[in-house]
Amino acid sequence: MRKAQQGFTLIELMIVVAIIGILAAIAIPSYQNYTRKARFSEVVQGASAVKLAVETCFQDQGTLANCGAGSNGVPGLTTAAGANPTTVDTGSGVTANSAASVTITMIAKSSDSVLNGLTYILTGTPGAAGSNNAISWGKSGTCVTATGGPFC
């Protein structure tokens, strides 16, 4: 009489464990970067409200010199960090403005262990006179050069 197979051999189990280890080594860093990008999107979203206010101010005033933090409908600098760990930290908003350019700096909360104070900087320059006179935005900051990034 033949004896039925009782289970898996040790080699088969070792191969399965090795495959799971390889998949985990690839998946975990990718997942961590994905969650950082998702959490940083709230900082980028916070900048879009300030950006829209600056663009509206520029269309109304005709110059960026009048579009500083807390004037002509542009929100003032953030004075208290939000309760949510991914919201912006104090000092976020329009940090510099002149007739030639405007700078919006958004800072992720430094107490957030995932984002740890990454910055998102938008620099806007007005178009040439006589053209559509729209603001051209360039982005920079530590979110662009962060390890595993860019996150913005």
Share of the chain above pLDDT 90, in %: 26
Domain count within the chain: 1
Count CB-CB contacts under 10 A for residue 37: 16
**pTM, 2 dp:** 0.76
77 within a domain of the structure (yes/no): yes
150 within a domain of the structure (yes/no): no
Owning domain of residue 27: 10-145
Q: What is the DSSP string of the chain?
A: -PPPP-S--HHHHHHHHHHHHHHHHHHHHHHHHHHHHHHHHHHHHHHHHHHHHHHHHHHHHSSGGG--TTSTTPPPPP-S--SSTTSBPTT-EEEEE-SS-EEEEEEB-TT-TTTTT-EEEEEEEEPPTTTT-PEEEEEESHHHHSTT----
Give the list of residues 6+ apart from residue 72 with CB closer than 8 angstroms, or none.
Answer: 57, 60, 61, 66
- Residue 84: CATH number of its domain: 3.30.700
pLDDT digits (tens, 9 = 90+) for 50-87: 999 999 999 888 888 889 998 889 998 887 766 665 57
151 within a domain of the structure (yes/no): no
**Highest-scoring range by mean pLDDT, 4-8, 71-75, 128-132:** 71-75
43 within a domain of the structure (yes/no): yes
- Is 80 exceeded by the pLDDT of residue 121? yes
15 within a domain of the structure (yes/no): yes
